[in-house]
Amino acid sequence: MLLIHFLFNNNYIRSIKSFYMKIHLPKKVVIPVLASAFLWVAVSFKNDFFEIAKQIEIFTNTFKTVNQNYVDETNPGELMDVALKSMLKELDPYTVFFSEQDVLKFKINSTGEYTGIGAMVQRKEGHVFLKEIFKGFPADKAGLKAGDEIIQIGDIKLADYKDDASQLLRGSKNTSIALQFLRQGQMKNTTLVLDEVELKAVPYYSLLADKTTGYIVLSKFTETASKETKAALLELKEQGATKIILDLRGNPGGLLHEAVNICNLFVPKGEVIVTTKSKNAKHNNTYATRNEPLDLDIPLAIIVNGKSASASEIVSGALQDLDRAVIIGSRSFGKGLVQRPLNLPYGTQVKVTISRYYTPSGRCIQALDYSRKDENGKAVKKTKEEINAFKTKAGRTVYDGGGISPDIAVTETKTSSITDALTGNDAIFDFVTQLYYKNPNASKYPTISDADFSAFKSFIKQDQYKLDTETEIALENVLEKAKKEQIESSITAQYEQLRQALKKSEETEVEKYKNEIKRLLQEELIVRYTYKEGLYKYFTQNATEIQKAQEILNSVTEYNKILKK
């Protein structure tokens, strides 16, 4: 019955029938052709349907059999969660299963609003830390600081709690929550009153020192992103801005339609901003601007870096292709896969990659090809031979290959692998926490000195701050295999020599990127004293990429030359 229902309701078959009737072919021709079409669709559908049904039956029976017969008690919910997430991981990092708790997080990321304490929470090796405190919200009012380790929430000790602890910090507005936390070795207690937390898409904007350049930070593409950007733009123009810098550094993306709406502030109605292409025709779409623009002529510079992704790349890529903005910084992340959340039973969801993004010139934003893997199982990038050239509206040459390449490259926006490792293992965060508490009440944040950098180099020699470079991981794997084969004793001396040589090499790399690391230490320290708002203000006076953007915008000749105007 399912197959019959599919066949007689299939749009493809109806379109075939309509086509043949329109060209007035006799029934004795139409009927055999339709019969062949029915047979082709039926066989194709039957094969796909049978394979899916077969695999579901195998999985269901395996899951049931294991849960009923395993030697110890199992948790069916946890097993299924792991099974689904592991299965989808084979496709790409963005096709994911959402439990009921995950769905709540996803909604928060889309709206930027929730009821909670107003802090970024991180679980690391069984411990729960506060990673960032948002100004003016409950955690801030209660005196909590970045680096505090939460030990107990109400009656629940987090050492015994294996689920997502951040869920315990959310609830109804005005709910009181007792916290016990550890700060620099001292146990402390406080009480929080939950409140509505709204994380702005535009957390900062200002008129720069020249009084003619407006600076707007767009940190994410939530439902209010274009509304906030428009409001900032209008206010800056009222203050005298005749040029605009839009800062998308570190912006991970978000809602597609908000990216289109933000482009619409600067380009005419009806302009194509992005297209999506898929094997499934229903996911092939063209997204064009729908409203009248706010300003078609104001000179515009957009700053991107390696952490500007997805919707950030749609905005920067489209405005580059349309020759509407000069792009400054370093190549963006290259996340050009489109996801759509689809509802499942019991409040769960699956977010599925349904298509790829393409800029107006036809460039694919996606950097990694998850359908092709290297010998280590990692997705591969395009080779130089596979990179293609495209033309902007004014005839400038741009390239695909993943991400958006800037018109003006600024090396300061790019970070080295050693710096990324020191950020990823929280070495920079933890060192700054210690540094902050040496003078927590300073009226002005201190500057990172050479002495501080020397102290940092000593700090990262602790075992917990492994840099996990590919070479280091490979060396550890060799030792593990040697232990399994019981030959480690015969290679211990050589292994230790290699390990010491590697450490020496890593120390050299740290010294090589001294200025880069000092900059990140400084930025983290500024946030401790003045929140993110203070960091953005610091950028307006010290960030090389902002200074470069100002230079370009202040030179009409240079600006027009880049955009071929």
pLDDT in tens, the chain (565 residues): 333 343 334 444 444 444 444 444 444 444 444 445 445 444 454 566 778 888 888 888 888 898 888 888 888 888 888 888 888 888 898 898 887 777 766 665 556 567 889 999 998 888 999 999 999 999 999 999 999 999 999 999 998 887 778 888 888 889 999 999 999 999 999 999 999 988 899 999 999 999 999 999 999 999 999 999 999 999 999 999 999 999 999 999 999 999 999 999 999 999 999 999 998 899 999 999 999 999 999 999 999 999 999 999 999 999 999 999 999 999 999 999 988 888 888 888 888 999 999 999 999 999 998 988 887 778 888 888 889 999 999 999 999 988 999 999 998 888 898 999 999 999 999 999 999 999 999 888 899 999 999 999 999 988 778 776 667 777 777 777 777 777 777 777 787 788 788 778 888 999 999 999 999 999 999 999 999 999 999 999 999 999 999 999 999 999 999 999 8
Residue in this structure with the two tokens 């010998």, named with its chain if needed:
375
Contact 123, 367 (CB under 8 A): no
Q: Which two tokens stand for residue 508?
A: 């050299």
pTM confidence score: 0.83
Q: For position 360, what pLDDT does the model report?
A: 98
Contact 316, 403 (CB under 8 A): no
Q: For 364-483, where are the E strands, in sequence order?
A: 368-373, 379-381, 389-391, 397-399, 408-409
The residues, any chain, with a CB within 8 Å of residue 389's CB and separated by 6 or more, are: 397, 398, 399
Contact 303, 248 (CB under 8 A): yes
- CA 453 centroid distance within chain: 30
Strands 156-157 and 149-153: antiparallel
The residues, any chain, with a CB within 8 Å of residue 109's CB and separated by 6 or more, are: 220, 222, 254
Nearest to 519 by CA among 539, 533, 534: 539
Q: Report angle CA 407, 411, 413 to the nearest 5 degrees.
A: 85
The residues, any chain, with a CB within 8 Å of residue 107's CB and separated by 6 or more, are: none
Helix axes 470-484 and 488-512, enclosed angle (nearest 10): 170
d(CA 277, CA 362): 11
Sign of the CA dihedral 292, 296, 298, 303?
positive
Q: Which two tokens stand for residue 265?
A: 């502030």
Q: Report angle CA 111, 113, 115 to the nearest 5 degrees.
A: 145
SS3 188: strand
Residue in this structure with the two tokens 């009923």, named with its chain if needed:
68
Contact 277, 358 (CB under 8 A): yes
d(CA 329, CA 323): 17
Q: Report angle CA 261, 262, 265 to the nearest 5 degrees.
A: 95
The residues, any chain, with a CB within 8 Å of residue 343's CB and separated by 6 or more, are: 349
Task: Give the bridge partners for 217, in sequence order.
Answer: 204, 247
Contact 324, 289 (CB under 8 A): no
The CB density around residue 478, as the number of other CB atoms within 10 Å, is 15
Q: Which two tokens stand for residue 340?
A: 């759509």
Cα separations in angstroms, 347 against 99, 104, 130, 255: 8, 10, 28, 21
- State residue 205 phi and psi, 5-degree precision: -155, 150
Cα separations in angstroms, 319 against 45, 174, 243: 42, 44, 15
Q: For position 24, what pLDDT does the model report?
A: 47
Element (H, E) at 244: strand 243-247
Q: For 392-507, where are the E strands, in sequence order?
A: 397-399, 408-409
The CB density around residue 546, as the number of other CB atoms within 10 Å, is 22
Contact 118, 142 (CB under 8 A): no
Nearest to 199 by CA among 265, 144, 133, 123: 133
Nearest to 180 by CA among 196, 160, 156, 202: 156
